[in-house]
Chain A
Amino acid sequence: MRHLRTYVQIAWLWIRAAWQYPASFVLLAVGNGLVTGLDFVGLWIMFAHLRDLAGFALHEVALLYGSASLALALADTAISSVERIGTYIRTGRLDQMMTKPVPLLVQVCADQFSLRRLGRLTQAGVVLAWAGTYVEWTPLRALVAVSMIASGTLVFFGLFVGFSCVQFWTTDATEFANAFTYGGATVTQYPLSIFPREVLVGLTFVVPVAFVNWYPCLYLLGRTDPFGTPDAFRFASPLAALVTVGAALLVWRTGVRHYTSTGS
């Protein structure tokens, strides 16, 4: 909790710093919103020609898209510059942070905190709210929806942190990490049933982005899984989040230890 407070305090200073240039601040958020907005427009156009996507109607795909996009935007906002850890190592900024009495991960995540994802956040929220009007809500479904967003955010957070750690061993591996993080995020914007079964297995057990939205959304939509995975998976998102974040923290610690023992 104490670390969370420090995180917020550091992040707040970065926001205030960004406000020194209000025009650029606003343009960045708006531009980002427009770009991600086009994503969804793309889906829309696709549906103008198709009746459904692997049996999923537009509002159902919108639910998948909105929830994944929201989780991604939240995680991306929270970790801000973890993906640039390689640059931090090269410029010595990481060394500087290591002389401060705040855990390194907290400092790195809060550093350069920006609301550049504000656009994506808003857009994802709007899409999700619209898609939500088609869901027949029950108390349990509401609970699953809330846990879906929280868990999804944590899964992406874990993936970002974990894969960024590659840079402790070899700098300039951002592209490699992006393949898993942003790649995973893109995949979750579609019903996973459009992919072969093997892909779903990979997205469940290796890069567990299927838990970000696919399994819980199946429950929200009252659908059966075309692949026939166990029903328990629909409620397993928090577990997947816990495992992902746990693994990521472990990798992070190993990475920092590698750094302090090699200095490169």
Chain B
Amino acid sequence: MTPTAQGPAPHGPAALIEVVDLERTFDVRRRVEGRRRRVRESVVAVRDLSFEVAAGEMVGYIGPNGAGKSTTIKMLTGILVPTGGHVRVGGLDPSRDRVELARRIGVVFGQRSTLWWDLPLRDSFDLLQKMYRIPPQRYRANLDRFVELLDLGDRLDTPVRQLSLGQRMRGDIAAALLHDPEVLYLDEPTIGLDVVSKSRLREFLRALNGERGTTLLLTTHDLQDIEALCDRVIVIDRGTAVYDGSLGGLHARGGSTRTLVVDLVDEAAPIDVPGATVRRIEGPRQWLSFPSDASAAPIVAAVASAYDVADLSIQEPAIEDVIRDLYSRGA
């Protein structure tokens, strides 16, 4: 999956993002019944986390709330110092070289805008040009391109407060990209957006990755984002990666099943065919499940020959179910 799969390679063509045995614990004070002073205890947010991301990859980073997603992102951007292990982004130690790293990465927090609320979009962009000291020519070229791709042309002179949520999100993403970052971290970029805005945003991110090879690390709860964008998924649960691989592999890994929905002409006893089991019956309709990697053909044939079938359909496993299954098993 990654070019340097065998541990960290500090010299030579290393991966763009390198995470080795990363650990982060937090000291929290908790009030305990019967004790006068609060008790200090250590809470593990991230542990034994290792992965690498090569330049140009689009990686989905998913997990339930509190799994350690944002703690990881904070360590990758230098906002938090790890308590153990090692992180490198573009060869830099994020917490030590935070300001230098900032020039090379873009960060978008879905629910927090960096734009100037009361001023036209253009003003926020102009300030970023100054903060990042983007050469004027490159700035203009980038601005033109992003404005075109994100369809913001007639919005540049509109105060941000008058933009729709989708437009504002696109503005925030453009803002994070003006300085040509190598990596773009997106935290819940499609949260709260309508279907059209979501798909438009995904299209843009795909185009961005295709045109500029920008590496994308995306945390999301919307699995359609992942399906539309990411060739690779890292699932994190209770601070550690429980899956790292292709989206397709996630199905197999989850031991998931496909479902054959059979509409019989009349109500009948549970269908009994080899290789499938009945999960549910509702009048003449029955749901049979069988392993994802098994062929549906013999089962369909068996059902059709033994029963009076009005209609048949096959349901693929929902990725949500697969992941829920992974969460409950990863401990």
Using a CB–CB distance below 8 Å, which chain A residues touch chain B?
Answer: 5-6, 9-10, 13, 16-17, 20-21, 91-93, 95-96, 98-103, 260-264
Contacts and interface: CB of A to CB of B under 8 A. Distances in A.
A17 B132 contact: no
9 contacts: A9-B127, A13-B123, A21-B118, A96-B109, A260-B79, A260-B80, A260-B95, A261-B81, A263-B74
A101 B100 contact: yes
B119 A6 contact: no
Contact of B117 (A5, A17, A102, A103): A17
B5 interface: no
B202 interface: no
A260 B81 contact: yes
A93 B112 contact: yes
A6 B117 CA distance: 19
A2 to B, nearest CB: 9
A21 B105 CA distance: 35
Secondary structure dominating the interface of B: mixed
Given A9-B127, A16-B123, A96-B109, 18 more contacts: A6-B130, A9-B130, A9-B131, A10-B127, A10-B131, A16-B119, A93-B112, A96-B107, A96-B112, A98-B79, A98-B102, A99-B79, A100-B131, A101-B103, A260-B79, A261-B81, A262-B27, A263-B26
Contacts of B78: 98-99, 260
A101 B99 contact: yes
Top 6 A-B residue pairs of the complex, sorted by shortest distance between their CB atoms: A101-B102, A99-B107, A17-B118, A20-B118, A101-B103, A261-B81
Interface extent on B, as a size class? 20 to 34
B119 A20 contact: yes
A96 B100 CA distance: 15
Nearest to B82: A261
Interface string B101-126: 01101010100101011110001100
Contacts of A17: 116-119
B98 interface: yes
B74 A262 contact: no
Given A13-B127, A95-B79, A100 B102 contact: yes
B102 A99 contact: yes
Contacts of B127: 9-10, 13
Contacts of B27: 262
A251 to B, nearest CB: 19
A95 B94 CA distance: 13
A28 to B, nearest CB: 15
A35 to B, nearest CB: 25
A101 B131 contact: yes
A15 to B, nearest CB: 11
A186 to B, nearest CB: 34
Contacts of A101: 99-100, 102-103, 131-132
Most buried by A among B95, B103, B124, B131: B131
A13 B109 contact: no
